[in-house]
Amino acid sequence: MEHEVHTNGKEEVRIGFYICHCGSNIGGTIDVAAVADYVRTLPGVVVSKDYKYMCSNAGQDMIVEDIEINRLNRIVVAACSPLLHEKTFRSATHKGGINPFFFHMVNIREHGSWVHEDKALATEKAKAVARGAVGRVRFHKALEKRKEPVTQSVLIVGGGIAGIQAAQTLSNAGKKVYLVEREPTIGGHMALFDKTFPTLDCAACILTPKMTDIGSDPNITLWSYAEVVDVKGYVGNFTAQIRHKPRYIKEDLCVGCLDCIDNCVFKQGNTDDEFNQSLSKRKPVYIPFPQAVPKLVVIDPEACTHLNGGKCEQSCATACERDAIDFNQKESFDDIEVGTVIVTTGFKTFDAARKPLYGYGRYDNVYTALEVERLVTSSGPTGGEVVLRDGRRPKTVAIVHCVGSRDHQTNRWCSRVCCMYSLKLAHLIKEHTGAEVFNFYIDMRCAGKGYEEFYERLLEEGNRFVRGRVAEVTDVPVSAEEEGKLVVKVEDSLAGFVRRIPVDMVVLSTGLEPRQDASNVRRMFNISCSSEGFFLERHPKLAPISTTTDGVFIAGCCQGPKDIPDTVAQAGFAAGEAMALLDKGFVEMEPMTSFVNEELCSGCKTCIGLCPFSAITRDDAKEVAVINPVLCKGCGVCVAACPSGAITQNLFEDCEIFAEIEEVLAHA
Amino acid sequence: MKYAYYPGCSLKASGKAFEESLLAVCSALEIELAELDDWNCCGATAYMAVDETKGAALASRNLALAEQTGLDMAVPCAGCYGVLLKAQAMQRKYPRLADQVSVGLKAGGLTYGGRVRVKHPLEILAMDFGTKAFRSRVKVPLKGLRVACYYGCRLVRPESPFDDSHDPVTMDNLLKSVGARIVDYTLKSKCCGGSLTGTIPEVGQNLCYQLLKEAQRREADVVATACPLCQFNLECYQKDIARKYTDLKPIPVVYFTQLLGASLGLDPVALGFPRLIVPIEPILRERGIMAKAGTEPAKAGV
């Protein structure tokens, strides 16, 4: 096929080739002009140009004009990754008046200039891959994107502040929302906080009105104490199954009067109160906290005598005037259809016991920050009194930063919020007790509006700051003043020596981690995660709430540690993206799906079990495989597996692939 | 069960009681410790600090010898144990160093393929033999004996293949299973001073003092160790330390194998009890674990 191949057997092929400098990103390593000169000599190439920035308007216009002037019918652009600009050039091709799938893109940046140092060899490689593209594009066919309607509702998974914010935004736009929360109440971690930094707003005062609004919003179906157990479908058309855990309360009858709790046979709590971080006890019939939404009681089957098969007079049921208690309640399921999903499943705090040297779980007076949040809250287990487990009020308090953060033995990442919440707790502890408070820090990371100012305020309030990672917390005294105290051992890296500071109370500022079951959630929604386990955004800068699965968005700490303002901003962004999808009303499906040549198909079913998207069925009448183009994601597994070569995939047809391989391997 | 036994120098001299009690316990449990033929110095910490390559080669000669036997290696001295693990880790991490070591070994007609598993007797007894199996062999439970389990630093740091590097529990669990009461001893993996007791005595002895003082504060009857240098420092310097820190009372410092041996009802002489400077027999008699003077030792299973 030396010189004469200007046709592909069906039509005359007139190719336009464009190579991008990307400033010096490509041009600095690859001799782009030489590549353009070379490609110009290839059969079928009518135009071959290099340009500083092909993605700019001028670059795109060049393609549009050339198509018209030179009657081009195939376009190849050698530039960055198709992930970045394939769409851009496809639409330029379309604007020029030809089918956008007559375009092909070659990646010579991520796969070329960025990974090679030898300029001559990098240029040769660019020539080879460009030749491959020119070889294959001549066989490209006109393809159409299919349109599918979008179901007009959104599933939000997780009812913390991120889920609440996203749900409210969508509801305000009149969208139907399903908000699914695993715990009995929405509110998430924010509901545990006393104040928020740096303004010291009361967390409950700003959160609980939003929670109440969610509970009474006609656009929002709130399912708490429920979990998503299965998700199927694709962007615009997901189906999800929700499992409702039994509360042992008829939700439609309970009005939240709490008479059942007062009349429980247990006069005192008999089990750890999770909401108070186990610093207090609760009864088997309980409400997580007074402002819980929905305001429904729950019976804990682990703690309830009757549900454990024991003998109980069931005084709670007798006390309920509305007969709302139902000990026979079983789990139930709901199947819903939604157009898009927002995952806001949040985080868990680092288990402080994983740092044995800090003594959590060994020494009574070592607390986690979340426990102290509950202690400083007026609705907490001590009514807002900061007292130790033995009832004493601490006179000296150490706050240890970076516990389970920035630590090669545990988690390497910075949890972003600990510096600021440590400052907040330091302020509150000092305010409540007048104690001398030491902060042990590596760096103070106070980047945020008003954050540095808050740090300064703490300095002025007389809080002590010691720069150094704490080596150990010990109760072994070496001097009289250490007797009966906890001793914080630290290298003061500003003073340049090792200090031992005796204190009454140690607060461990634990970092943020992915939730334990994050990988199950990830698999269910078919999204990726980074090496540390946080859900992975499609692009760290430009698509921070999108995922690699179209129509599934992420927001809040499930994507990475962040504070409340950032979480709220991200949740609003996710809601906006979901809304854009809903309001557009349809989704365009990429056409690179597979199809079956019924003449060749023997109906052997090899492909059916292999398809990861369950897109293939067998037509028993015709004895052939049938691929549902709506479900097909174009992975190509069936194409490779088909023993009779009956399956073909758009844009990856044999003629295209073999032409590309042949040309790439041909010597220049 | 059979292991290639690498005693190291301490167990043949200052730590003789460790070797005696270890061999006695293992023989009672039918665990065979076959001493490596022609073993050499592990290099200890000193050699590694002067020349890492030669240090690794010196240690690796023992690994090569053990590899020939096809057995796992039993290494009781925490110093040797740490050095051998380090020599292995360094060769895994630095292929160039591994090459240099193999050139050295080759000159001595040896090769080392990196396949030897180095194990401490704590791991062998608690995991390989098993705490449960051990408990079933106990004849004289150490009932009421309050023990501070002291691991020292070399056994578990920088990292231990069988336990936590700061809060190890293997010895606690093993001795608990034979009836001892384990006191809360948070200094269990702190430094005993190592060779500082000899070079800068005021620093080394202060570290020992803190360890002994804490054991005393926790009302331990005895400190159990797993390292000959820890045992040496804590026991042999006790008189000197007590002269300086007068609140310190004498406390026996023994090898964990000596206590395990006592629980198996083995002969005190075979367990190296007579070698102890601070004798342990009085407290064992007081607790009824050993027969009172003049009477026969507690009989097995009676």
Residues present in chain A in total = 668
Q: Is the pLDDT of residue A327 over 50?
A: yes
CB contact under 8 A, A476 and B187: yes
| Helix A119-137 and helix A32-40, axial crossing angle in degrees, nearest 10 | 40
DSSP state of A113: I
* Residue A605: count of CB within 10 angstroms of its CB: 12
- Does some domain include residue A223? no
Burial category of A310 from C-beta neighbours within 10 Å (exposed 0-12, middle 13-18, buried 19 and up): exposed
Residue appearing with tokens 């070592």:
A366
**Of A666 and A350, which is predicted with more confidence?**
A350
> How confident is the model over B84-94, as pLDDT tens digits?
999 999 999 99
**What residues does each domain of chain B span?**
2-119, 137-286
Residue appearing with tokens 């002489």:
B269
Task: Report the C-alpha gap between B170 and B124 in whole angstroms.
Answer: 11
Q: Which residues of B touch A353 (CB under 8 A)?
A: none
CA distance A355 to chain B (A): 9
> How confident is the model over A133-162, as pLDDT tens digits?
999 999 999 999 989 999 999 999 999 999
> How confident is the model over A544-559, as pLDDT tens digits?
999 988 999 999 999 9
Provide the pLDDT for residue A614: 83
DSSP state of A117: -
In words, the CATH class of domain B137-286 is: alpha beta
> How confident is the model over B55-83, as pLDDT tens digits?
999 999 999 999 999 999 999 999 999 99
Q: Domain holding A122: CATH number? A: 3.40.50
Provide the pLDDT for residue A24: 95
Phi, psi angle pair for A340, to nearest 5° = -155, 160
- Does some domain include residue A128? yes
Residue ranges of alpha helices (H) inside A487-615 are 518-525, 564-584, 606-610
DSSP state of A556: G
Q: Which residues of A touch B248 (CB under 8 A)?
A: none
Task: Report the C-alpha gap between B188 and B157 in whole angstroms.
Answer: 12
Residue appearing with tokens 């939604």:
A338
State the virtual CA torsion across A274, A276, A281, A284 in degrees, nearest 10.
-40
> How confident is the model over A424-446, as pLDDT tens digits?
999 999 999 999 999 999 999 99
B158 has a chain A CB within 8 A of its CB: no
Task: Report the C-alpha gap between A294 and A273 in whole angstroms.
Answer: 18
User: Which amino acid, residue A321?
Assistant: E
Report B:165-224 residues touching A (Cβ under 8 A).
Answer: 166-167, 184, 186-187, 210, 214, 217
Count of structural domains, chain A: 3
CA distances from A482 to A65, A228, A461, A479, B84 (A): 82, 52, 26, 5, 39
% of chain A residues with pLDDT over 70: 99
- Does some domain include residue A617? yes
Sheet with A552-554: strands ordered across? A220-223, A176-180, A153-157, A340-343, A552-554
> How confident is the model over A582-627, as pLDDT tens digits?
999 999 888 999 999 999 999 999 999 999 888 899 999 999 999 9
Cβ-proximal residues to A465 (8 Å cutoff; 6+ apart), any chain = A438, A439, A441, A444, A459
CA distance A356 to chain B (A): 6
Task: Report the C-alpha gap between A350 and A332 in whole angstroms.
Answer: 33
A507: its two tokens: 């607060």
The terminus-to-terminus CA distance of chain A in angstroms comes to 14
In words, the CATH class of domain B2-119 is: mainly alpha
Provide the pLDDT for residue A668: 54
Q: Is the pLDDT of residue A9 over 70?
A: yes
A406: its two tokens: 């920035």
Lowest mean pLDDT segment, chosen from A40-54, A450-464, A619-633: A619-633
Q: Which residue of B has its CA nearest to A472?
A: B166
Whether A493 and A354 share a structural domain: yes
Question: Which of residues A459, A491, A513 is at a domain's end?
Answer: A513
User: Does this complex have an ipTM over 0.90?
Assistant: no
CA distances from A635 to A529, A548, A588, A594, A613 (A): 20, 14, 17, 9, 9
Q: Which residue of B has its CA nearest to A478?
A: B210
Q: Is the pLDDT of residue B298 over 80?
A: no
Q: Domain holding A366: CATH number? A: 3.50.50.60
Q: Is the pLDDT of residue A41 over 50?
A: yes
- Does some domain include residue A49? yes
Cβ-proximal residues to A119 (8 Å cutoff; 6+ apart), any chain = A29, A30, A31
CA distance B208 to chain A (A): 13
Q: Note whether A223 and A178 are within 8 A (CB).
A: yes
Q: Is the pLDDT of residue B301 over 70?
A: no
> How confident is the model over A251-275, as pLDDT tens digits?
999 999 999 999 999 999 999 999 9
What does the pLDDT average to over A104-117? 96
* Residue A231: count of CB within 10 angstroms of its CB: 20
Q: Note whether A444 and A455 are within 8 A (CB).
A: yes
Whether A503 and A621 share a structural domain: no
Provide the pLDDT for residue B293: 60
Element (H, E) at A341: strand A340-343
- Write down the mean pLDDT value for chain A: 95
| Helix B95-107 and helix B52-69, axial crossing angle in degrees, nearest 10 | 70
Q: What is the pTM of this model?
A: 0.82
Give the residue from A274, A35, A1 showing the smallest Cα distance to A131.
A35
In this complex, how many residue pairs, one in chain A and one in chain B, have their CB atoms less than 8 Å apart?
17
Domain span at residue A393 reads 349-513
Phi, psi angle pair for A52, to nearest 5° = -55, -55
> How confident is the model over B197-253, as pLDDT tens digits?
999 999 999 999 999 999 999 999 999 999 999 999 999 999 999 999 999 999 999
Provide the pLDDT for residue A5: 52
A633: confidence class by pLDDT, cuts 50, 70, 90: confident
A236: its two tokens: 């615009």
Whether A636 and A502 share a structural domain: no
Q: Which residues of A touch B186 (CB under 8 A)?
A: 359, 362, 474-476
Q: Which residue of A has its CA nearest to B209?
A: A478
B302: confidence class by pLDDT, cuts 50, 70, 90: very low
CA distance B210 to chain A (A): 8
Provide the pLDDT for residue A247: 96
* Residue A464: count of CB within 10 angstroms of its CB: 16
Task: Report the C-alpha gap between A514 and A557 in whole angstroms.
Answer: 8
- Does some domain include residue A236? no
Tell me the sheet residues that pair with A367: A507
> How confident is the model over A515-549, as pLDDT tens digits?
999 999 999 999 999 999 999 999 899 999 999 88
% of chain A residues with pLDDT over 90: 93
User: Which amino acid, residue A186?
Assistant: I
Q: If DSSP codes are grouped into helix, strand and coil, which group holds residue A126?
A: helix
Task: Report the C-alpha gap between A614 and A634 in whole angstroms.
Answer: 12
Q: Is the pLDDT of residue A3 over 50?
A: no
Cβ-proximal residues to A650 (8 Å cutoff; 6+ apart), any chain = A101, A141, A143, A591, A592, A593, A594, A595, A634
B49: its two tokens: 């600090």
- Cis check for the bond before B158: say yes or no (omega within 30 of 0): yes
- Does some domain include residue A603? yes
Burial category of A409 from C-beta neighbours within 10 Å (exposed 0-12, middle 13-18, buried 19 and up): exposed
- Write down the mean pLDDT value for chain B: 94
Q: Note whether A617 and A628 are within 8 A (CB).
A: yes
Q: Which candidate from B166, B187, B214 shows the least CB-CB separation from A356?
A: B166
Give the residue from A365, A373, A367, A363 showing the smallest Cα distance to A352.
A367
Q: Which residues of B touch A480 (CB under 8 A)?
A: none
Provide the pLDDT for residue A630: 79
Q: Which residues of B62-85 are buried (b: 16+ CB within 10 A; e: fewer)?
A: bbbbbbebebbbbbbbbbbbbbbb
- Does some domain include residue A134? yes
CA distances from A545 to A101, A238, A550, A571 (A): 28, 18, 11, 8
Q: If DSSP codes are grouped into helix, strand and coil, which group holds residue A372?
A: helix
Q: Note whether A629 and A593 are within 8 A (CB).
A: yes
Question: Which of residues A489, A513, A537 is at a domain's end?
Answer: A513
Q: Which residue of A has its CA nearest to B185?
A: A476
Provide the pLDDT for residue A1: 36
Q: Is the pLDDT of residue B299 over 80?
A: no
Question: Which of residues A145, A173, A194 is at a domain's end?
Answer: A145
- Does some domain include residue A183? no
